[in-house]
Chain A
Amino acid sequence: MPDRTKRPTLPSRPGRRFRDAATLLPVTGLLLLLTPLMSIFTRAQSLFGLPVSFFYVFSVWAGLILLAFFLARRALRINVSK
């Protein structure tokens, strides 16, 4: 049997998918919050009685947290830290 610990092996498929997702998540946040894209979404004045910029920033924020939560669960399940 070849000694697996000594040989660099390609990450398994779930590992690769996790890596891609983990890499893309902050980029998504960056695009939505730190580029002029933000001005496009905050043109209107109010939504559900809340100022739309307030609503937009906190919604994107909550979305990022939710996605990070699912990613973290996945990371712990496939044990990427090892």
Chain B
Amino acid sequence: MISFNILVSICLLYVLGLFAVAYAAERWAETGRFAILRSPLVYTLSISVYCTAWTFYGAVGSAARNGLEFVAIYLGPTLVFVGWWWLLHKLVRIGRVQRITSIADLLSSRYGKSGGLAVLVTVLAVVGTTPYIALQLQSMTLSFAVFTTATGAPAPSPTVTAFYVAAGLAVFTIIFGTRNLDANERHHGVVTAIAVEAVVKLAALLSVGIFVVWGVASGPADIFARMDPELLQSSQVFNTRWVMLNFLSACAIICLPRMFQVIVVENSNERHLATASWAFPLYLFLMSLFVLPIAIAGQSILAPDANPDLFVLTVPLDQGQQTLATLAFLGGFSSATSMVIVASIALSTMMSNHIVLPLWLRMNASRNPASDDVRDLLLRSRRASIAVVVALGYVYFQFNGGTGALASIGLIAFLGVAQVLPALLGGLFWHSATRPAAIASICTGFFIWAYTLFVPSFSGAALMGPEALASGPFGISWLAPQNLLGVGITDPLVHAVFWSLGLNTVVFVVVSLLTTPSAIERLQSVQFINVFGQVSPRRGITRSTAIEDLLVLAQRILGREEAMALFRAQARHQGKDSPLPDATNELIATLEREIAGSVGAAAAHAMMAQVTGGSEISFEDMIAVADETAQIMEYSARLETQSKELEQAAAQLRDANAKLTELGAQKDTFLSQVSHELRTPMTSIRTFSEILQDGDTLAPEQLNHFATIIHSESIRLTRLLDDILDLSFMENGRVQLNLETVPVQSIIDRALATTQAQANELGAVIRRDTTAEQITLYTDADRLSQVLINLVTNALKHCGTTPPEVSVLSGLHDGKLLITVADNGRGISEDDIDLIFEKFSKLSKKFTSGSAGLGLPISREIVKNLGGTLVYAGSSMGAVFRITLPLRTTETPESA
């Protein structure tokens, strides 16, 4: 049998080993060898601080009493971790961005950096954690007692044992938890030691489990065959209590101060969370795998009155496995110590940041906070806080007399800290959540929790007698702590969860809806809820501040070197040569965040306010924020306009391109048509000149005939070229007009005189109304008569009837001269109407006129140059062309 003294020596050696690990880790961290310390493995193992002595000893006890119920305590956290994407991811990101130091800091920061809320949460956390620490002390004294009773050796009383354990833990925590005031509030040494302890406790529990299943029994089937059939049958696994326990443990993994410390504050890399999302549930899985077998073994081989909470120790001892029992003892010791260490660090941070520092600031309100060494104060107050927290646990242990099963004490603590959950979730997801609502809801939940669960846990104590517990204080039955309003929930825990969290949530929602968030709460709510969006540094508050004051303050809190480095970096950022930057809003905001990393948001805000002389967000600040929004909107509107303009420009370019392509195609067509037209006369000229060259044998009449043909073809060629030249000039608007005042009659006279010969030849009838021609016109008479000649010639030629009748009528219409040239022929077929004004278009192959098809295009261009229009007006009575001309042609034609 191992004597008590050997056991104590083993414990001391183990603690010394932890010291060595923590010390080495601190040294590694200082020399920058982070690789091992900052791995996801260490992070995951440090989260396993969730598994306390309650898990190690109490889970087996719970399994022996209630079967599978103990699993609920691990399934809740498992669901939270596999669902890390829902909540933990956001929580960790906010913790990093806002430099959150504790859960009280998180809530106070979210709800407008409220000092009062931070104090409230701190008190709640201390009260909620105290039973938990007592639980650890109780399990350690119990485990010591197991060995001492087994050996019968003289040993100190449980009170003394607990005192030494508590004192030892406080010393260890003070040494490694408050060695430095890290800017990010991270403790490499402690976290590494916790990771080592996690391995020890897992190894210990697995060893005992394996021994029980394959050493005591002969395999899983055998061990379950020994099970008392009542154990799993009597309690249907699924019931209200099962759901409540899962829910409570899920709350606890988020809200417990020590869990928040290791998950959020000590997190150095968000990616570690992804690994922990499966590794931590796996750890829990392994921890609980052998719990039921150990419980069954204990029940089957030990005396019926043996304490099931100690089966982990007593089963190996009963089987004579000294070493295994010692390992199990060390596992329980690890579980208890790691919990107390982390919990007291987390609570001491909260107490010093949210209670001691604000009090000190208030007492020294008249003085500049930079005039004393705040760092020293913080470290001293943290050390004192750790001692206070551990002492409180010790007092509770003494007061509660070590009664009550381990599991029920743990659940009391769970429900206590779970009261912050509505305010926490509301703060992370609901913009309308307000500070009064958070305070009211936490107070409500806290009070009901204390009344229905915490106070009754001091069974038989002076606070509330058993008769008051049963029938309500002063005999008021509907106020009975474990049966409020007579709802008839038999399980006290389910009853307390229902009333405390239910009313808590109702109060939170109702008060939030009744109150309006302040300006700073609105700003913070955006920062928290949209943490994955575009995070812009919060605008600082416009104040005039001496940069020296800020530097002194920063040096006091961050330390001389760090503060100087920060200021130099800021100065470089501002592009200044001197080591001191300007006290811009950005600098003040950055500095406040950095300081918040050490002392919490509320205290940092208060200190900065004292130095910079302004604490509230002013109207101007809100205007500035609004301005920023307005600027963004204006910018986006400008972008929109620009993009519209670009679109328009692109459309215009496309149009221009299409037009150019079309023009290019027209030009090609035109050139090929011109060449074709030129070729015909050229061919005949060439042929006849060749005949003339070797034409010695030709008769003189023939020679004369051929020369005449050549001559007439040349004339035709010349005319064609003239026409093309003319057309091209007119199309470009470069034609020279000889403007004069002439009567319309004379123009028509001239045109008809020219066509007289042709008309006589065809026996045509020309009709006109000379009385209507008494109009004077200011125009180019030559050009206009050319148009008329063209039209009349066309009418004579293409009319198709014999004898042709052509009428040339003129008149005034709408202040303009209207000349109509009509014939009595078939008119122009529908298909050809579009073509008649095209160059070189010959509608009918039957008519071999000498023209090249340029007459109408030229006419149209002339009329256009004179400022009028020439249109084909229809085929109803034969072809009708209509010229509309202004009475006065101006010098600037439209195409100029």
Contacts and interface: CB of A to CB of B under 8 A. Distances in A.
Q: Do A and B truly interact?
A: yes
Contacts of A22: 83-85
A49 B277 contact: no
A1 B334 CA distance: 57
A58 B232 contact: no
B278 interface: yes
A9 B236 CA distance: 50
Contacts of A67: 82
Contact of B75 (A33, A69, A81): A33
Interface string A26-49: 110110011010110010001011
B83 A72 contact: no
B278 A65 contact: yes
Nearest to B236: A39
A53 B232 contact: yes
Given A38-B238, A51-B232, A68-B281, A76 B274 contact: yes
A49 B227 CA distance: 11
B224 A25 contact: no
A23 interface: yes
Interface secondary structure of B, over-half rule: helix
A23 B670 CA distance: 71
Q: Most chain-B Cβ atoms within 10 A of its Cβ — which of A6, A34, A48, A66?
A: A34
A34 B285 contact: no
A34 B657 CA distance: 70
B277 A51 contact: no
Contacts of B81: 68
Interface string B197-227: 0000000000000000000000011001101
A10 interface: no
Contact of A50 (B86, B224, B273, B275): B224
Interface residues of B, number: 39
A49 B79 contact: no
Interface in B223-241: 224-225, 227, 232, 236-238
A49 B292 CA distance: 14
Contacts of A68: 81-82, 277-278, 281
A61 B271 contact: no
A68 B86 CA distance: 13
A81 B89 CA distance: 8
Nearest to A48: B221
Contacts of A57: 68, 71, 75, 237
Given A26-B86, A54-B232, A65 B281 contact: yes
B190 to A, nearest CB: 25
Nearest to B89: A81
12 contacts: A19-B85, A22-B84, A22-B85, A27-B83, A29-B75, A38-B238, A53-B68, A58-B285, A64-B82, A65-B278, A71-B82, A81-B89
Given A39-B236, A42-B237, 10 more contacts: A19-B85, A27-B83, A34-B242, A42-B238, A49-B225, A50-B221, A64-B78, A69-B278, A71-B278, A72-B275
Nearest 10 CB-CB pairs, A to B?
Answer: A26-B83, A49-B221, A22-B85, A68-B278, A69-B278, A68-B82, A72-B274, A38-B238, A81-B270, A75-B274
